[in-house]
């Protein structure tokens, strides 16, 4: 009996060692675990009509930002007849600029009401207009023409005032208060000291909620698109038996890259440099990546969005800076 038990002990040790190796194998296959903070070291999210337009360099991020690796914003189509890939710059955004939301609803309702009336034999707007026969139809069509032309003229100006994309490496003339970081503020939305404070606090709160795996809290701090990416990253870590913990976050410096308004929303892209303790543990709390004694410093571009002039800023994108 003693001989059998002595033979079983080495076998158990081999099984345990093999199990541990299999547990660590997925972690070894992912060398980016060190960038396991919120965002995972990737560029993801959306910047409205400027999603495919490169942010201008700033003092905090002099080399700009990397293009998005994950975004729900459709890529603009190339110009017909040329077949060229839409560039990561301003030219692409002329094709990608979203339509005015009010115009979409107005025209859809106008056409829908007209078609509904024609289908049921009441003309474009019903018999109450007084039109009858072919002459009545012409009068109604002329009325529609003048209404549409008025609406287009009325709202063309408001569309033109929305943020237009800038070529890579160019900035608009400074307007309004200049951030402490020294970057110029483009013509667009005025960013106040309270807004800068909100951006810094959002950085800390989102990283804290990330470490706590609190997706519910993130829903109040970021857009649904960003929350979906965070949730996917947390699930990926959990599937590998790992958990990322970010602590002692310190905002080092930052500046405004650009701010603009479009379709009833304010956008602000800010370059932020911050440091933290960034470690990854297994489910038992054992550190498998990172150094709890040394700080990690990163520079990222965060884009925030809110309802025009009001509401809470929500994180809509994180972009990494090129590694030099």
Q: Rounded to two decimals, what is the model's pTM?
A: 0.60
The four Cα atoms 314, 204, 283, 70 give a dihedral, to 10 degrees, of: 40
How much is the pLDDT for 122? 46
Q: Domain extents for the chain?
A: 31-78+174-320, 101-160
Token duo for residue 200? 């810094």
* Cα-based angle 314, 315, 317 (whole degrees, multiple of 5): 145
Low-confidence ranges of the chain (pLDDT < 70): 1-36, 78-138, 140, 144, 146-187
Tokens 């237009």 belong to residue: 164
How much is the pLDDT for 59? 96
Beta strands (DSSP E) in 180-264 are 242-262
Residues 6+ apart with CB under 8 A from 85: 78
Q: How far is CA 298 from the centre of its chain?
A: 18
How much is the pLDDT for 183? 42
How much is the pLDDT for 236? 94
Q: 31-78+174-320 architecture in CATH? A: Roll (3.10)
How much is the pLDDT for 76? 84
Burial of 222-251, coded b for 16+ CB within 10 Å and e otherwise, reads bbebbbebbeebbeebeebebbbbbeebee
How much is the pLDDT for 324? 72
The CA distances from residue 289 to 150, 242, 273, 282, 296, in Å, are: 62, 10, 22, 9, 12
pLDDT digits (tens, 9 = 90+) for 27-83: 333 434 446 689 888 999 999 999 999 999 999 999 999 999 999 999 987 655 444
How much is the pLDDT for 153? 63
């Amino acid at each position: 009996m003693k001989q059998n038990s002595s033979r079983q002990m080495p076998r158990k040790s081999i099984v345990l060692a093999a199990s541990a190796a299999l547990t660590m194998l997925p972690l070894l296959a992912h060398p980016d675990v060190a960038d396991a903070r919120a965002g995972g070291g990737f560029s993801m999210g959306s910047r409205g009509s400027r999603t495919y337009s490169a942010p201008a360099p700033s003092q905090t991020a002099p080399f700009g930002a990397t293009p998005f690796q994950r975004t729900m914003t459709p890529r603009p189509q190339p110009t017909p007849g040329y077949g060229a890939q839409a560039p990561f710059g301003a030219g692409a955004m002329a094709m990608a600029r979203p339509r005015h939301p009010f115009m979409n609803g107005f025209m859809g309702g106008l056409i829908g009401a007209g078609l509904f009336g024609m289908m049921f034999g009441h003309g474009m707007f019903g018999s109450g207009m007084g039109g009858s026969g072919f002459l009545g139809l012409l009068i109604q069509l002329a009325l529609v023409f003048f209404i549409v032309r008025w609406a287009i003229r009325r709202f063309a100006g408001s569309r033109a005032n929305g943020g237009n994309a800038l070529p890579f490496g160019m900035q608009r003339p400074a307007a309004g208060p200049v951030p402490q970081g020294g970057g110029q503020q483009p013509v667009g939305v005025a960013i106040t000291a309270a807004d800068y404070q909100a951006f810094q606090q959002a950085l800390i709160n989102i990283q804290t909620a990330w470490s706590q795996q609190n997706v519910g809290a993130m829903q109040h701090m970021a857009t649904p698109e960003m929350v979906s990416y965070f949730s996917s990253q947390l699930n990926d870590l959990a599937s590998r038996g790992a958990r990322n913990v970010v602590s002692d976050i310190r905002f080092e410096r930052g500046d405004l890259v650009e701010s603009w308004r479009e379709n009833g929303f304010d956008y602000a892209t800010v370059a932020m440099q911050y440091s933290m303790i960034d470690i990854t543990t297994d489910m038992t709390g054992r550190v498998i990546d990172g150094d709890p004694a040394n700080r990690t410093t990163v520079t990222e571009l965060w884009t925030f969005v809110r309802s025009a002039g009001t509401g809470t800023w929500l994180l809509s994108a994180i972009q990494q800076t090129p590694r030099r």
